[in-house]
Structure 1
Amino acid sequence: MVLPCSRYTFVRPVLHLHRHARTEAHLAASRYFQGVPHRLVPDNLKTEVDKPDLYDPMVAVGERI
């Protein structure tokens, strides 16, 4: 996760890109930054986004197996 204005970066390596691992990484980043950003923008990863779009991506709702 990179905060856009300050360019503060949080990196957590994971072995797989399942939704649970991404959620845990976002929680760890929130603890590291001691807060949450106003808005999260997904990077069109297949596990998170059903339909990629630059301005309005369709975010996946259910867990994929």
Structure 2
Amino acid sequence: MNDMFIFNEIIGHLGLLELPIKGRSYTWSNMQDSPLLEQLDWFFTSVDWISDYPMTEVIP
């Protein structure tokens, strides 16, 4: 079993939800003329948290 599969299994087992980053879809760039843009940071929360704080945002 690879690490990403195990990670995804744990996320699903815990019932976590991903919080999207507001305003962009990446968190890293190599700053080149033709840049590589990657999402290296991920934010997860619980259904209970979203119920209590529905306006929760991740801002870069």
Band the TM-score falls in, shorter-chain normalisation:
under 0.3
Higher gyration radius (CA): 2
In terms of fraction of residues, the more helix-rich structure is 2
More RCO (CA 8 Å, sep 6+): 2
In terms of fraction of residues, the more strand-rich structure is 2
